[in-house]
Amino acid sequence: MSSEEESKYQTPPTCDLLSLLLKNRRPTGAVNEVWPNLFIGDAATAQDKHLLEHLEITHVVNAADGPQHIDTGPCFYKDTNIVYRGIEAPDCKDFDLSPFFTETADFIHEALSQKGRVLVHCARGISRSATLVLAFLMIKERLTLVEAVEVVRRRRNILPNVGFLNQLCQLDSILAPQKRNT
């Protein structure tokens, strides 16, 4: 985005984001590389150690951690070299996922800077995991929300719930002026 476009950028309303997310949907697999060495996947992918080994995954972020969700955890991966981060988050529009944006972005960034390969997953790899990946792209890669959605959508169908979209819009409106000032 040029500096002129950046200065005119406005966080889009949620309805426009939903239109962007629903446009030109096509089948995507259980796991997709959406950014170099960054993957979004579903629970079955996260539980398939042979697939993770084949994909050379070094780090896993489980956005649906816990006994009521996808209870993998560090013990599940103890016979691998995978570094694990779990977030116990329901896929509910009233759940505030935003407190996890920065810490998850830092975890992903650190893994990628060490030449790692990161899988971010939830139950279906559509809402919670996608929200965390979009936040990473906005925080660490300095993309706008629209740019982040477009990047991920090239490789995977995603559809964060409306509450998560609103939280991403709020993050976008905080980050946009900071980008203009640097």
According to DSSP, residue 114 is labeled T
Residue 62 tokens read as 């489980």
- Number of Cβ within a 10 Å radius of residue 21: 18
Active-site option among 15, 75, 92, 122: 122
Element containing residue 53 per DSSP (H, E) = helix 49-54
Residue 75 is among the residues annotated as catalytic for this protein:
no
Question: Which residues touch 162 (CB under 8 Å, ≥6 apart)?
Answer: 14, 18, 93
* 162-181 vs 14-22: helix crossing angle, rounded to 10: 110
Active site residues: 122
